[in-house]
Structure 1
Amino acid sequence: MKKHASAVWQGNLKDGKGTLSTQSGALKDNPYGFNTRFEDQPGTNPEELIGAAHAGCFSMALSMMLGQAGLTAERIETQAVVTLDKVGEGFEITTVDLILKAKIPGADVNQFQQIANQAKEGCPVSKLLKARINLNATLES
């Protein structure tokens, strides 16, 4: 299975502008630039998209692993906070903090924590990233 996305960039780094598009059409010529990435201006950026991909992938992996344990989540809500730091002369994604809140009838806290950590390690996006990945998981009643 292969999925694709594309980026078009015009100009230099600081003043240039780009667009991002995805195969599904979820993004179609969405603008991005230096200001949306490094200056907290409105708009998207690669780190935000990596965060969305990681949160979605992790949530699905958790759902699968819960099912293997005979559990079904009523709700899984995952936020991914992606940290981009200056390292040497360039930048690097150093950390992803996954913040999970889940409602899973019949799960106990220890079982939930164990399965959530397995999902963090087993999610394909987690495997792709060399960043440190932290998990803060809360089982809601």
Structure 2
Amino acid sequence: MATTRSAHTVWEGDLLKGSGVVTFDSSGAIGEQPVTWASRAEEANGRTSPEELIAAAHSSCFSMAFSNMLAKQGTPPSRLVTSADVTFQPGEGITGIHLTVEGTVPGMAEDAFLAVAEEAKTGCPVSQALKAVPISLTA
């Protein structure tokens, strides 16, 4: 069964001096988050950016996909810690994403862990949606 999740942004003003508020409509779990051009192109200063939101989505999706693949091979993880770094270059856009994962997977050799991590990087739905951007992995 398909699901749809929703968010919306209210933006006021021009790009450089304006500001917005992102609201997570489906869950309400995160609440409203402020966003500005400066928080995107310079320092965050307590505000989010589209790239940070993509990083959150990608790290959680990758973790789910990787955990599922490991479990299907009979080696469920005890713990996975995944970070995603999304690089934004003003004037160019998003130029790359780097995933880093560390895990505790009893009974699994490091080379097998790396192979499944690569599969998860390619197969997770967010990676699929972001195929236009180079995605690298450290596991």
Q: Shorter chain as normaliser: what TM range?
A: over 0.9
Deviation at 1:29, TM superposition (A): 2.4
Residue aligning to 2:119? 118
The count of corresponding residues between Structure 1 and Structure 2 is 134
% identity of equivalent residues: 41
Structure 1 stretches of 4+ moved >2 Å: 26-29
Deviation at 1:35, TM superposition (A): 1.5
1:12 aligns with 2:21: no
Structure 2 unaligned blocks of 5 or more: none
1:120-141 deviation per Cα after TM superposition (whole angstroms, max 9, x unaligned): 000000011111000000xxxx
Residue aligning to 1:69? 73
Distance in 2 between the 1:49 and 1:29 partners?
A: 13
Deviation at 1:118, TM superposition (A): 0.5
Amino acid at match of 1:11: G
Query: TM-score scaled to structure 1, two decimals?
Result: 0.91
Distance in 2 between the 1:93 and 1:31 partners?
A: 20
Q: Retained in 2: the 8 A contact 1:20–1:27?
A: no
Distance in 1 between the 2:30 and 2:20 partners?
A: 13
Query: TM-score scaled to structure 2, two decimals?
Result: 0.92
Distance in 2 between the 1:25 and 1:34 partners?
A: 24
Structure 1 unaligned blocks of 5 or more: none
Distance in 2 between the 1:135 and 1:39 partners?
A: 25
Distance in 1 between the 2:99 and 2:50 partners?
A: 17
1:109 aligns with 2:110: yes
Distance in 2 between the 1:131 and 1:26 partners?
A: 29
Deviation at 1:64, TM superposition (A): 0.4
Amino acid at match of 2:40: R
RMSD: 1.0
Residue aligning to 1:84? 88
Higher strand share: 1
For residues 20-35 of structure 1, the aligned pairs below 5 Å read 20-22=22-24, 23-35=26-38
Amino acid at match of 2:20: G
Residue aligning to 1:53? 57
Deviation at 1:103, TM superposition (A): 0.7
1:92-113 deviation per Cα after TM superposition (whole angstroms, max 9, x unaligned): 2111000111110000112111
SS at match of 1:12: coil
Residue aligning to 1:41? 44
